[in-house]
């Protein structure tokens, strides 16, 4: 199980990274990315802290990846913040997409795809233009395990199927109870109308992205 979207108390999660990693491991997660919320005010503080933790965490039970979730940033500022996050050492960049349960600015999904983030988290009612560009640029769209954000999973899966975009499952975990193993993640994907083949490809996408990240180290 690979989970590429989680939060600690460095943003709005409830656990320090060490406990989140341990809780994830006991829930059946093999690889976990910490993607705490960032904007221009906190990226230079938060990301180095997560990078230090990931570089020094070596308990042999779970692999941890330093990341960031760019959140509620105006679309015209996203490109510069993506570059800054990478310079600060974030290995994985997700974008807080246009979920239907928050007032995310229109154009956010498109700006993130153009900026080359790795994943558009909970992209909501994402449009044709954005999905086609995500497919072209290799940006993955998230099937979310998070309450509220998951309401649009069926739409995301349908659009990805129609226009060839890649999918990835993530829990967006903020607390231990949000974490999921493979069985529950598979059930969420089936609830979104995905076929067994599509689910397999979704999990393979997480493996491929993780391998790319590890090879870049």
The pLDDT tens digits along the chain (217 residues) read: 999 999 999 999 999 999 999 999 999 999 999 999 999 999 999 999 999 999 999 788 999 999 999 999 999 999 999 999 999 999 999 999 999 999 999 999 999 999 999 999 999 999 999 999 999 999 999 999 999 999 999 999 999 999 999 999 999 999 999 999 999 999 999 999 999 999 999 999 999 999 999 988 7
* Domains assigned to the chain: 2-215 (3.20.20.140)
DSSP type of residue 178:
G
The pTM assigned to this predicted structure is 0.97
Instruction: For Cα atoms 125, 190, 1, give the angle at the middle one, nearest 5 degrees.
Output: 100
Q: What angle in degrees, to the nearest 10, is found between the helix axes of 108-115 and 75-87?
A: 40
Q: List residues bridging with 161 in a β-sheet.
A: none
- Name 92's Cβ contacts closer than 8 Å, sequence gap at least 6: 4, 33, 35, 65, 66, 67, 68, 118, 119, 209, 213
Residue 36, SS3 per DSSP:
coil
């Amino acid at each position: 199980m690979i989970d590429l979207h989680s939060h600690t108390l460095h943003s709005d999660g409830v656990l320090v990274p060490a406990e989140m990693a341990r809780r994830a491991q006991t829930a059946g997660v093999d690889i976990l990315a910490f993607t705490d919320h960032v904007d221009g005010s906190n990226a230079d503080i938060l990301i180095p802290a997560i990078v230090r933790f990931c570089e020094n965490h070596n308990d042999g039970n779970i692999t941890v990846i330093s990341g960031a979730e760019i959140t509620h940033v105006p679309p015209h500022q996203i490109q510069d913040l993506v570059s800054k996050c990478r310079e600060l050492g974030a290995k994985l960049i997700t974008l807080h997409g246009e979920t239907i349960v928050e007032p995310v600015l229109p154009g956010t999904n498109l700006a993130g795809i153009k900026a080359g983030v790795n994943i558009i988290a909970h992209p909501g009612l994402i449009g044709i233009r954005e999905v086609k560009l995500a497919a072209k640029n290799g940006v993955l769209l998230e099937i979310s395990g998070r309450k509220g954000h998951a309401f649009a999973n069926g739409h995301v899966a349908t659009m990805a199927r129609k226009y060839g975009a890649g999918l990835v499952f993530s829990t967006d975990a903020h607390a231990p109870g949000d974490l999921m193993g493979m069985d529950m993640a598979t059930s969420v994907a089936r609830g979104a109308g995905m076929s067994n083949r599509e689910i397999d490809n979704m999990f393979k996408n997480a493996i491929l992205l993780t391998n790319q990240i590890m090879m870049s180290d």
